[in-house]
Structure formats: C-alpha cells, structure tokens
Amino acid sequence: MIAAANGYSVPENVLLGADIFCTQFGWRALLTSEANSDTMLEISWTPDGASPKARQMKDGDWIKLDMKTLAAGTARPPAAAPKAEEKVIAGDGQARDFLAGIDADLARIEAQVGAPLGLRHISIDARQLAVDVFRADNRKKVSTWLVDAGNGGIRLWREDDTMMLDCNKPFAATDFPLAQLPALIAGAPALIPPMAQARVKDVAIYRSGFCGKPHVFIKIEDERGFGNVEYDQRGKLVSAEIQ
C-alpha cells in the first residue's frame, strides 16, 4: 500500500541485516521509482518487525520521512531532472598523441565547462582522452568529456551522480605534475628493467588511496604481460613493478 500510494514499485524482497555502516540491524526494503531512477525510498524495521522508519534518497542525500507522511501518500518521488544532451564540439582535424601532452585539450574542455576544472579522474590511451569533471554548478554531478585522438573532437558523453562512499573531492590541474607528464610517461618502461622496451598501454590520474593526493598511474605492456608505475603529486616515483 505504501509503495503504490507514493508512486514507488513494490520491492522484490526484504532483507535482514545491518545498514552500510554496519549499524542498525533489522529488516530493510528498498523501493524504486520508474519515473525517477535517482530517487529511492527505504523502509526499515527492528528484527521483530516493529518501529518502522523511512528515508528517501533525494538530490544525492538521504532524508528522513515520517511514517504518517508515507501513509498519507505525500512522499512521491520528485520529478526526474532532465538528462543532459550529448554535446559535440568539432575538432581541428589534427591527430593527437595524448601521451605527449594533454595541456591544450584540458584547456579546451575548461573553455566548454566555463569554469576551472574540478577534476575527478583523467584517463589517457591511444584513442582518446577522457576527463571526469565535477559540475561547477552542482558538485553532486560528474560530467565525462571525451577528446578524440584522430581529429580533436570533443563531446560531453554522459553525466552521473556522485556516490556517497566515493571520494568526491575535486582536484585541479595544478595539483599533479601536468608539465612533467610526457616525460614521466616516456620514462615509465625503463623503471622496470625487465620491461624496458615495453609500450605504454594507458595512463590514469586520480586521488590515491581514500581521497589522498592525485597520483599518476601508468600501465605498460609487452608480449609477456603488464607492469605498473606510480608517481605522486610531485612527480616522485612511488612504485614500479611487474603486475
């Protein structure tokens, strides 16, 4: 009755266990909405089925609800936010080698964003540069921008909500060794002597550990296998080892 009255689907099952923080042991039902996949309703009870509590996921946060509100059918999910349309910006027709530098293309993405980049993750390979950026107007949204290595075309590929247990602290282009990046990438294979002639497969830049400083992670490969090289935020070697 609660599900139908408030515009949610009936849950397929009810689970007995602790919440994600390993507290509040009890029964839990998670209700979803076809009208708005970003909203959820959780109802929980103590192990004996008493003392029901409810909360609603709204704008990325859990908000407590009174059970009387649910009984009255006044906790319907908010309207879904309009999905961002894929944005495509024509390139200059020039092929790129992102392993030799990404400075200019980061600047082009910044021009499209219209604000200094609050970075979450940068990925580089032979085909494209992928940059995850926290939206300047809503830090609970992450936009993924892609730059094509063939012609420099840029497109806004998708937007995702941040996850509660992820590191959602942005970093700037000045927080990692951007100017040194080509040299760090080129020198990575030699740091693993058995793989000195290996090729660079891909490069990633993101915060190390749990919300640590942004590090540079380089994966190299040859016909025998893979190796990993890691540099810290100053370009100092952290590790170089065969995978």
Considering the domain architecture, whether residues 222 and 111 belong to the same structural domain is answered as yes
Q: How many domains does the chain have?
A: 2
Residue 207 CA to residue 172 CA, distance in Å, equals: 11
Residue 54 CA to residue 236 CA, distance in Å, equals: 49
Instruction: Tell me if 93 is assigned to some domain.
Output: yes
Both tokens assigned to 169: 């602290």
Query: Measuring CA to CA, how many Å separate 80 from each of 10, 37, 158?
Result: 19, 8, 16
Count of CB atoms within 10 A of residue 27's CB? Answer: 16
Residue 56 confidence (pLDDT): 81
Structural contact between residues 27 and 18, judged by C-beta atoms closer than 8 angstroms? no
pTM value surpassing 0.75? no
Considering the domain architecture, whether residues 111 and 34 belong to the same structural domain is answered as no
Instruction: Tell me if 18 is assigned to some domain.
Output: yes
Instruction: Tell me if 78 is assigned to some domain.
Output: no
Structure confidence by residue, pLDDT tens digits, 120-139:
999 999 999 999 999 988 88
Residue 83 banded pLDDT, cuts 50, 70, 90: low
Instruction: Tell me if 195 is assigned to some domain.
Output: yes
Structure confidence by residue, pLDDT tens digits, 151-165:
999 999 999 888 877
Residue 119 CA to residue 131 CA, distance in Å, equals: 7
Instruction: Tell me if 42 is assigned to some domain.
Output: yes
Considering the domain architecture, whether residues 37 and 122 belong to the same structural domain is answered as no
Residues 22-49 have a mean pLDDT of 80
pLDDT surpassing 70 at residue 74: yes
Considering the domain architecture, whether residues 57 and 114 belong to the same structural domain is answered as no
Residue 20 confidence (pLDDT): 62
Residue 84 confidence (pLDDT): 55
Burial zone of 119 (CB within 10 Å; 0-12 exposed, 13-18 middle, 19+ buried): buried
Q: Which residue has the higher pLDDT, 3 or 159?
A: 159
**Which stretch of DSSP H or E encloses residue 4?**
helix 2-5
Segments forming the whole domain that contains residue 157: 87-242
Q: Which residue has the higher pLDDT, 194 or 166?
A: 194
Residue 85 confidence (pLDDT): 58
Considering the domain architecture, whether residues 225 and 172 belong to the same structural domain is answered as yes
Considering the domain architecture, whether residues 237 and 118 belong to the same structural domain is answered as yes
